[in-house]
Amino acid sequence: MEIFNHNIIIIGAGSIGTALGNTLAKKRGLDIKLLSIEKDVVKSINETRNNSKYFPNIKLAKYLKATSDVEVLKEADIVFLAIPSNVTVDYTLSVKEYFRDDAILLNMAKGFSKGHYTITESLSQELPNPVCSFKGPTFARELINKLPTAFTIGSVHIEHDGIFNEIFYNTPIHVDFTSDVKGVELLSILKNIYAIGMGIVDAHFNSANLRFLFLTKAFNEMKDILLKYGGREDTLFKYCGYGDFGLTALNDLSRNRTLGLLIGKGFFTNDISDKVVLEGKNAVSVFCDEFAKSKSRSCHYPIMTELYKVFNGNYDVSNFVNEVINS
């Protein structure tokens, strides 16, 4: 099955944007471009078929092109937003005049926007475009090496299911679909938080029993928060839920799990926090602020509560596991 006339722009030529673009550029009928502000990366991709900054040892697809010219957005049918969560909304709105009203936007960033809104909520308030979520258990280095990879597409437009099944057909990317856009966004944030907790546990104990005790508590706490803020329980069992949580909490390539390991071993400092984008750490404060506003009893969410204490004051991290288990 071949497809035609899909002009796809991926905003961001970092690791995940490049991996996604490289995967799709190998398929006939798709016009794929990476839009990046990193001019050295654009030059490297176009002149050497190599992203020297993010994948220096990978030869990229022949038809993958990169540009710094936002004018390319005018022809886009589909736009993937593959830039950090803290700049996604501001950047996207800064180029909104270039979007066609029917262009489909898919957010790949995992974090909150300003005002404690999800990124899709913030963009939907400002744009006429359909704004979707695209999240799953994915490490870019595995995707670019053609290993099977999964994503959930969150969209209220049922016709998008067919469009994206067609686009990803016969590629290493496998997708499932839900209309629960907010649930997909929330789970992509929550899994980072609980991955930090898993890292702290594993830093202190090499125990399979304890690991899966904690994972079960974490998964249930994620469910309760998901439902409290308007997501659906069935979304937990999409790729963006159980799959992405497992990948992030249990694999040492995960930045947020690594943050937990650093905390648990006593190597975490404010200097590390300031220099590394850590969506989970920032999201803990957002959720706890929301709990305070709604007067939710913190004992409902013991893991979240203990992580908030870890990041806000002097905390004896050796007590983390006991506090969570005995709460």
- Give the DSSP letter of residue 205: -
Per-residue confidence band for 312, with pLDDT thresholds at 50, 70 and 90:
confident
The 10 Å Cβ neighbour count of residue 56 is: 9
Q: Is the model more confident about 116 or about 197?
A: 197
Query: What are the structure tokens assigned to 189, written together?
Result: 């944030």
- Mean pLDDT to the nearest integer, 163-174: 96
**Catalytic, out of 110, 191, 281, 309:** 191
Query: What are the structure tokens assigned to 16, written together?
Result: 């995940």
For residue 111, give the nearest of 87, 137, 132 by alpha carbon.
87
Task: Name the least confident of 24-28, 120-124, 312-316.
Answer: 312-316
Q: Based on DSSP, count helices (H) and strands (E) in the chain, helices before strands.
A: 14, 8
CB 164 within 8 A of CB 239: no
Residue 296 reports pLDDT greater than 80 = no
Cut 0.75: pTM above it: yes
Q: How far apart are the first and last CA of the chain?
A: 54
Phi/psi at 228 (nearest 5 deg)?
Answer: -60, -35
Q: In angstroms, rounded to a whole number, what is the distance separating the alpha carbons of residues 8 and 266?
A: 45
Q: In angstroms, rounded to a whole number, what is the distance separating the alpha carbons of residues 284 and 263?
A: 15
- Mean pLDDT to the nearest integer, 56-76: 96
Catalytic annotation on 265?
A: no
Kindly provide the residue ranges of all beta strands, DSSP E only, lying in the chain, ordered along the sequence: 6-11, 30-35, 65-67, 78-81, 104-107, 131-135, 149-154, 173-178
Q: Which residues pair with residue 173 across a beta bridge? A: 149
Mean pLDDT of the residues in the chain: 92
- Give the DSSP letter of residue 123: H
Q: In what order do the strands lie in the sheet with 131-135?
A: 65-67, 30-35, 6-11, 78-81, 104-107, 131-135, 149-154, 173-178
CB 182 within 8 A of CB 230: yes
In terms of average pLDDT, the best of 24-33, 76-85, 310-319 is 76-85
Residues 6+ apart with CB under 8 A from 125: 117
